[in-house]
Structure 1
Amino acid sequence: MTQPNIIFILMDDMGWRDLSCTGSTFYETPHIDRLATEGMRFTDAYAACPVCSPSRASILTGKYPATVGITDWIDWGGWIHPARGRVVDVPYLKELPASETTLAAALREGGYQTWHVGKWHLGGPGHYPDQHGFDVNVGGCEWGCPTKGYFSPWQIPVLPDAPEGTYLTDHITDAAIDLIRASDGRPFFLNWWHYAVHTPIQAPAELVAKYEEKAKALGLDKIQAIEEGEHFPCEHKRNQHVQRRRIQSDPVYAAMIENLDWNIGRLLEALAEAGQAENTLVIFTAEGKGWMYEGGTREPLLIRWPGVISPGSVCPSPLTSPDFYPTLLDAANLPHRPEQHVDGVSFLPLLRGEAMERGPIFWHYPHYGNQGGTPGCSVRDGDWKLIEFFEDGRLELYHLREDAGETHNRAAEEPDITRRLHAELVAWRESVEAKIPARNEAWEEAPV
C-alpha cells in the first residue's frame, strides 16, 4: 500500500460556521469549500479543548488534554495564570513533555519527511517542533499569536522577518509550497498550523475594502453586531463585559478568511503541479473558542483523500482531536502505538464510508476562558451532552440533534440520563486524575 502524503491544516480560533460550506453567507471560502465537495465534511467534529495549546497537544499525542497535563493555553509570559474568579485555575504543564512520542515522530520513524509550518504554542526553546519529531520548523515557537501584527516585521522567534509589509499568512504559505516543491520523493507530513485567524484581526487593505462594500450592500453595517453581556467572571477582567457577536459582518475578519482561503488554494495548486494531489490526504480543521458550549468546541472538519473518500460525503459521527493520531497511522499503513494514543480512536472506517461507534467524548477545562467561559467539564455520549460547571456545580443537559444551540437545558426533565452521564464523566475524570479548581475565598462579585 502506497503511503499518502499528509497535509494537516489547522486554523486558530476559527468558528464552526466560518466557512461557506458550513453555513456562512458573508465569508467567502471557495478553495476550502472545494475540499468538502472533493472529500468529506464532518458535521460533529470537536476540538479536545475550548482553547489552543491543549487541542494542539491532543492532536500530536493522541491523548486528552487532561491526560497530557496541558489543560489551558500556554501562558509562557506568566501574564494571568492562575486566573481567579469564584474558583482558582489549576496548575498545568507549560510545554509538551519530551516523554511523548508525537504523531510527527511516529510518522518520521515510518519513513516520512516531517515539516512544521506556522504556530506551535507548545513550549519555548528546547521544546520547539524540531524537538518533537519534525525535520523542519518554520515559525513554530512559544508565541500564541503574532503580537507585533500580521505585517512584517513580525519579530517572531525562529522566523526571520520578510520585507516590510509582507503578510504573515502569505509568507508561511510560500514556505509550505517551497517544501512541497523541494520534497525528496519520500512521503511527507506537512503540519501547516496557521496563526490566522487569531487576534490581532488584520488583513490586506484591498480585501477589507471589498467586505466593507459587501456589508453595506447587505445592510449589515446598520445592524448592531456585538452584544454586551455580563461582567467577566475572573479578577483580571472583572471591570470588563463579555462581548458576543450575533452576526457575521466584520469586514476585517472576513478579509482574513478570504486571504487564508486564497493561500490554501495556492498550496493545493502547487500540490497538483507537483503531481502529488492524488496521493495526498488533506485535513482542514480548527481549534476552540473559549467556551464549554458547542460554539467553543465544535469545529469545521474537511478531509480529502482521493481514491478512498467518496467526493461530497457528509459524516455526522462525532470525533475529537486525539482521534487523528491512530487514524493517520492507519492511513500511513503504520502500526498503532496504543500506549501512546490512549484516548484516540481511529476513524478510518468513516473515511471509507463504513459505520462505526466511537463511544463517549470527554472535555476537561478547569480554567477561565479569555472570552468569558467558566471552568467546567463535559461529556457527549450519542446525541446527549452533559456539562458540569465547577463554580457552582450545576449540570446542564442538551440533546444536540434537536438543540445544537444548547438553548434548552433538560437536566431536570431527564434525571436518569443526567445521572448516567454525570457518573460517566466523574469516572473518567478520576481515571485521568484530572485537577479540579479550588474555591477562591477572597472572591467578591463585581458591582452591578
Structure 2
Amino acid sequence: MWSHRIVLKAVATMVVVAMWHSGAVAAPRDDVQTPNILVIVVDDLGYMDIGANNPDCFYETPHIDRLSSSGMRFTNGYAANPVCSPTRFSLMTGRYPSRADATNFFGGNRSGKFNPAPMNHFMPVEETTVANVLKEKGYATFFAGKWHLGKGDEFLPQARGFDVNMGGFHAGGPYTGSRYFAPFKNPQLKPESPAGEHLPNRLATETASFIEANKEKPFLAYLSFYSVHTPLMGRKDLVKKYRQRAASIEGQEFGEEEQVLGNNPRKVRILQKHAVYAAMVEAMDEAIGKVLKQLDASGVADNTLVVFTSDNGGLSTSEGSPTSNLPLRGGKGWIYEGGIRVPWIVRYPGVTTAGSESDQPICSIDLLPTLAAAAKIPLQHDVDGVDLRPALLGKPLDREALYWHYPHYSNQGGMPGGAIRDGDYKLVERYEDGRTHLYNLQDDIGETNDLSEQQPQRTAEMRDRLHAWYKQVDAKFLREKDGQQPWSPK
C-alpha cells in the first residue's frame, strides 16, 4: 500500500504544512451530490510545463495554476504510456493499453534494431468507455478535440458513447486546412470557423456552449486539446511576447541523451525558452480559463468535478524539441520519468481541499473508475485502475504497483521497454537485450544512479513482478529482424 502525504498551502503566508495521514482517514462521504464532470486532456504537455508544478516555468499558465490552488495537485501523476493513443485508450477505458495491444500511437510502426511488437491501431469496439458508463446514468456526453483512437465511423466518439463530437477523428494532430488556425477543414468540426480563429479557442467555445446548454442535468464534458502537439504554431501576439522574454535568458539549451535510433547524437532540451511553444501553452491555458469561467457563469462550478491531465510527457528530444522536462529524464516517447510523469489536478467540490497536494502515484487507468464511483455507478466490467476518491481525502490507495509496457521505437528516440513503480523504486527493463535498471525516485528523480547491482534482491523481485504482469495483460514484444532475435521474457 502506498504511503501518502497531503500538503495544505496557506496562500497569504506561503507556508507549507506537511501532514502524514494513516489509513484512519474517512472514506468518501455518501452525501456528496452526484457531480457534473469536466475532463481536460492536453496533448504532449510535460509535468514541468505548468507553473503549479514548476515555479520557474518559462510559460504562463495562470488558469491552470488557479485550478490547482482550488483543488488537489498530484506530484506523482502518470500517463499510462509515453505516447498518445495508448494513454487515451486508458483514460477512456480504465484499462492498461497492453490488454488491447494498443501500445503505440495509432499509425506508428517504426522499426529499429528489431521489428516492433504487433499492435492494433484502434480502440476495439467492445471496449466500454467512460462516456458509455456515464450515459447509461443519464449524463449528457460531449467530446471536443483530439481523439486518435481509430479510423472509421465505428471508432469515432459519437459511436463510443458521446452525444456530441466536435473535432475528434483519427488524426493525431491538427494536420488539415491551416492547422491551428481556421479554416481547419476538420471533418468533425462543423460549422467551419471564421478565417484565422485559433483552434484552442474554438474548442473551448464549443465546450462552454455545451455546459451552458446542459446546466440543468448531469453532464460529461471531455475537452481534449490538440495543443500543444506539433505543428509548432502560435498566435503572433504571444510569440512576440515570448521571443522578447527568451532574448534575456542565457544558458545551454541542449544536452546529451542516449542514442537509440540512427547514427546522429540525440540531444535533449534542458532549458525552457522556445517562444512558439510558450505561446501554444499560454493560448491553451487561456482556453481552459474560458471553460472554467463558464462553469461559474452557468452556476455549476460547485457541483462539477474537474480533472486536468496530459497524455504523455513533454516533447524534448525531436520534432523541434520545444520543451525541457528537467529534472526529469527524457521526454515523450521515453519510459523515463520525463515521458510518463504528467500534470494531474483534481478539483472535486465537497471532497478535495483547496490548495492540497498528494504524492501518491496515480495513472490514466484511474480516471474511469474514479468518475464512475463519483457518479455512484457500479462497474459491470473489470478495469485496471482504482477509485481515487480515498486519495482525494488523504487515504492511501490499496494498489501494489504501477506498470508500463512500450514495445516500440518511438519517433522521439525512446528505447523499447517496460517499467514498474513500487513505492519510491522504479525498475526499467530494456526489450532489446533484457537489461534492467533500478532507481530510487525519491533520491534520484533524474534516473541517473542505477542501483540494480547494489540491490540485486530488490531488482530480481521487481523484475519478477513485472514479468508476471506481462503475462496478466498478454503483453507482446519485439520481433525478429534480419535474422536477429530480440530478448523476450521467460
Residue 266 of structure 2 aligns to a residue in which SS? strand
2:168 maps to amino acid: G
Choose from 206, 217, 224 the match for 1:193.
224
Alignment partner, residue 114 of structure 2: 87
Residue 427 of structure 2 aligns to a residue in which SS? strand
**TM-score under structure 1 normalisation?**
0.93
Choose from 466, 469, 474 the match for 1:425.
466
The one-character-per-residue Cα deviations of 1:310-333 (angstroms, maximum 9, x if unpaired) are 111110011111111111111111
Residue 239 of structure 2 aligns to a residue in which SS? helix
Choose from 308, 320, 329 the match for 2:351.
308
Alignment partner, residue 45 of structure 2: 14
The one-character-per-residue Cα deviations of 1:241-270 (angstroms, maximum 9, x if unpaired) are 533111100011111111111111111111
In 2, Cα distance between the equivalents of 1:422 and 1:330? Answer: 33
- Deviation for aligned residue 1:226: 3.0
Matched, 1:340 2:382: yes
Alignment partner, residue 292 of structure 2: 268
| 8 Å Cα contact 2:49-2:57 kept in structure 1 | no
- Deviation for aligned residue 1:156: 2.0
Residue 75 of structure 2 aligns to a residue in which SS? strand
2:382 maps to amino acid: Q
| 8 Å Cα contact 1:319-1:358 kept in structure 2 | no
Matched, 1:5 2:36: yes
Structure 2: runs of 5+ lacking an equivalent: 1-30, 313-331, 485-490
Matched, 1:168 2:199: yes
Matched, 1:396 2:426: no
Alignment partner, residue 25 of structure 2: none
Choose from 323, 328, 331 the match for 2:374.
331
- Deviation for aligned residue 1:435: 0.4
Alignment partner, residue 446 of structure 1: none
Identical pairs, percent: 42
| 8 Å Cα contact 2:307-2:346 kept in structure 1 | yes
Distance 1:174 1:240, change over 3 A: farther
- Deviation for aligned residue 1:232: 5.0
| 8 Å Cα contact 2:101-2:476 kept in structure 1 | no
Aligned length: 429
In 2, Cα distance between the equivalents of 1:399 and 1:359? Answer: 17
- Deviation for aligned residue 1:402: 0.9
In 1, Cα distance between the equivalents of 2:264 and 2:222? Answer: 37
Choose from 142, 165, 182 the match for 1:152.
182
**TM-score under structure 2 normalisation?**
0.85
The one-character-per-residue Cα deviations of 1:321-378 (angstroms, maximum 9, x if unpaired) are 11111111111111133x232x111111011222333221011110011111011111
Residue 22 of structure 1 aligns to a residue in which SS? coil
2:180 maps to amino acid: Y
| 8 Å Cα contact 2:82-2:340 kept in structure 1 | yes
- Deviation for aligned residue 1:25: 2.6
2:373 maps to amino acid: D
| 8 Å Cα contact 1:62-1:322 kept in structure 2 | yes
Alignment partner, residue 365 of structure 1: 406
The one-character-per-residue Cα deviations of 1:254-297 (angstroms, maximum 9, x if unpaired) are 11111111111111111100000000011110011110100000
The one-character-per-residue Cα deviations of 1:55-84 (angstroms, maximum 9, x if unpaired) are 010111111010122111001xxxx52x22
| 8 Å Cα contact 1:385-1:400 kept in structure 2 | yes
Alignment partner, residue 57 of structure 2: 25
Distance 1:21 1:142, change over 3 A: same
| 8 Å Cα contact 1:42-1:315 kept in structure 2 | yes
Choose from 277, 283, 289 the match for 1:253.
277
Residue 363 of structure 1 aligns to a residue in which SS? strand
The one-character-per-residue Cα deviations of 1:200-225 (angstroms, maximum 9, x if unpaired) are 111100011111111123x24xx341
- Deviation for aligned residue 1:228: 6.2
Matched, 1:226 2:268: no
Alignment partner, residue 242 of structure 2: 211
Residue 171 of structure 2 aligns to a residue in which SS? coil
Matched, 1:130 2:172: no
In 2, Cα distance between the equivalents of 1:324 and 1:356? Answer: 14
Choose from 71, 84, 94 the match for 2:103.
71
Higher alpha-carbon deviation: 345-354 or 31-40: 345-354
- Deviation for aligned residue 1:155: 2.2
1:295 maps to amino acid: G
1:302 maps to amino acid: I
In 1, Cα distance between the equivalents of 2:358 and 2:480? Answer: 41
In 1, Cα distance between the equivalents of 2:448 and 2:258? Answer: 18
- Deviation for aligned residue 1:391: 1.1
Distance 1:6 1:155, change over 3 A: same
Matched, 1:50 2:82: yes
Residue 88 of structure 1 aligns to a residue in which SS? coil
In 1, Cα distance between the equivalents of 2:279 and 2:442? Answer: 32
Structure 1: runs of 5+ lacking an equivalent: 444-448
In 2, Cα distance between the equivalents of 1:226 and 1:410? Answer: 27
In 2, Cα distance between the equivalents of 1:229 and 1:36? Answer: 32
The one-character-per-residue Cα deviations of 1:376-416 (angstroms, maximum 9, x if unpaired) are 11101111110110112110100111111101011111000
Residue 132 of structure 2 aligns to a residue in which SS? helix
Residue 284 of structure 1 aligns to a residue in which SS? strand
In 1, Cα distance between the equivalents of 2:454 and 2:48? Answer: 30
The one-character-per-residue Cα deviations of 1:16-53 (angstroms, maximum 9, x if unpaired) are 10001101431111110011111000000110000100
Distance 1:240 1:190, change over 3 A: farther
Residue 285 of structure 1 aligns to a residue in which SS? strand
Alignment partner, residue 480 of structure 2: 439
In 2, Cα distance between the equivalents of 1:139 and 1:421? Answer: 42
